[in-house]
Amino acid sequence: MTEVDAVRDPGALLGVPADETYDVIIIGAGLTGLHQLHELRQRGRNVRLFEAGDGVGGTWYWNRYPGARLDSESYSYAYSFSEELLQEWDWTERFASQTDLERYFNHVADKFGLREDIQFGARVASLTWLEDENQWFAEFIDGRTVRSTYVITAIGILSAPIWPDLTGLDDYRGEWYHTALWPDEEIDFTDKRVAVIGTGASGIQIITEIAKTARSLAVYQRSPNWIVPLRNAPIDEAEQLELKAHYNEFFDKLRQTTSGFVHNPEKRSTFDVPEAERLARWEHLWQEPGFAKVYSVYQDISRDRAANALYAAWVSDRIRERVTDPAVAAQLIPEHDPIAVKRVPCESGYLEVFNQPNVDLISLRTTPIERYTATGIRTDDGAEREFDMIVFATGFDAFTGAFDRIQITGNAGETLKHKWRNGPITYLGLQIADFPNLFTEVAPHNKGGQCNIPRCSEQNVEWVTATLDYLASNGLDRMEATHEAEEAWLQHVHEGVSQTLLPDVDSYIWGSNVVGKPRAFVGYIGALPDFRDRCNRIAAEGYPGFTLTRAAERAPAS
């Protein structure tokens, strides 16, 4: 056994009865977990889903801050597995709000009777593989226990919130919130003095809302972000009918795109196109909704520094046009970073907020926060500002953080946290050597993490469901990725990203937003059709790269 964090001793759990026993347990009632539960219920599996929160929706349950909204087109984010659901649900806006999304996932849970098999308020504390019993032993923070042959994690890639250094926050007498843990009640900003820390996608959305009614708003920015206009709009009846008439073709098309988005890359390269044509294209895309101006720009912007710099300079001009004070505009432009290399937030009036007399932009690079005080925030230049409310929009310990919150011990007695201490190691981002019968959906090094998530999540769910069918119909009950397959996959993941500009910019995809986290790529930039074909080919060939066994064949434990 290797050096590990305090591991659960599997030997001590052998023969220990659990409160309940299942064939499969699913962790997480977000969009992936709900779909997975539906598929397994359809097949009559003995399955139970455990969810830490009190409701369904995952991301859209927790991130209920004002302004939270999709940046993928709503209809591209819908479940495609039920024609009836597609026909009965009306998306009212091009980019759905958190409220609509939460309503949607509740509707899905009710329509398919999923709540019968969901345990809410159940946060998993540990998962321990019992090799001799071919079962996972799950313990919950309230002490309940469950045994299960298979575990499917659907715990999300952005679900473990992080906080900055909170020195002095205990002294602070005002209200404070994190965007990812927003309370289920109305928080009124009217006439309040508000501070927001963080200017990622969440910060940008909530800042735009708070600025509408706050008496004053101080935006504490560490790094500026490239941003593009969202261009949300209502969906009228004619568009609704058109969508409903063509959903199947639409989803077939999305499945052929690189990352499941409506917008496909332009095949030509920046310098192959005359300048006038290039400018006309950029201008056209700029007026389009959503990620058009990120994903449909010339294909080389993700690989060629010069091509990227040309487009970035053009976008900088669009930012300057909208911000009155040139010094503030300069602070809002990440001029040294390539564009579209880390997730680009889409905004609706964010830049104009900085033209308002009640809004200040404070650079944390120039003046870091020294401490929180009884009345507000003190920066290291000695300036002390008073606030009625502080909002943390500081993001997540992405991809691996949700796994680290569960102590997962595999068959080598090693925790997953220890195995991943220098970065994730998986096969296809779907299984992990030494962690048998554990399937990880929308997880590190899995296409689901860098995607219009429902389109890649459905691939994960379909593949895992078919794999469980295969195991059952062949009398098999144990499946584990091999170390060799993992090493080859890791190399493939790293090779792919090394051919892009992604390594040039720090972000959560490298873990660089979390103090002490090793710099390691946690995403996967391969194309969705290739990922799906690869997974299907592996299944068709009898799962090379995995070891599949049945109880009768395994040597009895010594």
Task: Provide the minimum distance between the beta carbon of 130 and ligand NAP in the complex, in angstroms, as a whole number.
Answer: 36
Which residues, 6+ apart, have CB-to-CB distance to 555 below 8 Å? Answer: none
Q: Which alpha helices (H) appear in 24-155, and where do they start and end?
A: 31-42, 59-62, 83-88, 98-111
Residue 203 within binding range of ligand NAP, rule CB under 6 A? yes
Residue 394 within binding range of ligand NAP, rule CB under 6 A? yes
Residue 393 within binding range of ligand NAP, rule CB under 6 A? yes
Q: Which stretch binds ligand NAP (CB under 6 A): 109-117, 196-204, 450-458, 549-557?
A: 196-204
Q: Which alpha helices (H) appear in 66-127, and where do they start and end?
A: 83-88, 98-111
198, 265, 289, 523: which one binds ligand NAP (CB under 6 A)? 198
Measuring CA to CA, how many Å separate 188 from each of 184, 193, 387, 530? Answer: 13, 11, 14, 47
Considering only residues 347 through 366, tell me which ones interact with ligand NAP, judged by CB under 6 A: 364
Q: Which residue has the tokens 């843990």?
A: 181
Helices then strands, counting H and E runs in the chain, come out as 18, 20
Instruction: Work out whether the CA dihedral 64, 66, 68, 73 comes out positive or negative.
Output: positive
Q: Which stretch binds ligand NAP (CB under 6 A): 123-131, 307-315, 387-395, 496-504?
A: 387-395
CA proximity to 443, closest of 469, 470, 461 = 461
Which C-beta is closer to ligand NAP: that of 429 or that of 436? 429
Which C-beta is closer to ligand NAP: that of 201 or that of 217? 201
C-alpha 9/C-alpha 130 separation (Å) is 9
C-alpha 243/C-alpha 262 separation (Å) is 13
Task: Provide the minimum distance between the beta carbon of 348 and ligand NAP in the complex, in angstroms, as a whole number.
Answer: 10
Which C-beta is closer to ligand NAP: that of 203 or that of 511? 203
CA proximity to 485, closest of 533, 535, 448, 532 = 535
Which C-beta is closer to ligand NAP: that of 333 or that of 468? 333
155, 219, 513, 520: which one binds ligand NAP (CB under 6 A)? 513
What is the pairing mode between strands 47-50 and 20-27? parallel
98, 148, 202, 259: which one binds ligand NAP (CB under 6 A)? 202
Considering only residues 60 through 89, tell me which ones interact with ligand NAP, judged by CB under 6 A: 69-71
| Residues in contact with ligand NAP, shown as a per-residue x/- string from 148 to 177 under the rule CB under 6 A | ----------x-----x-------------
Q: Which alpha helices (H) appear in 164-272, and where do they start and end?
A: 201-210, 237-245, 247-255
Residue 400 within binding range of ligand NAP, rule CB under 6 A? no
Residue 199 within binding range of ligand NAP, rule CB under 6 A? yes
Footprint on this chain of ligand NAP (rule: CB under 6 A): 69-71, 158, 164, 197-203, 205, 222-223, 343, 364, 393-396, 508, 513
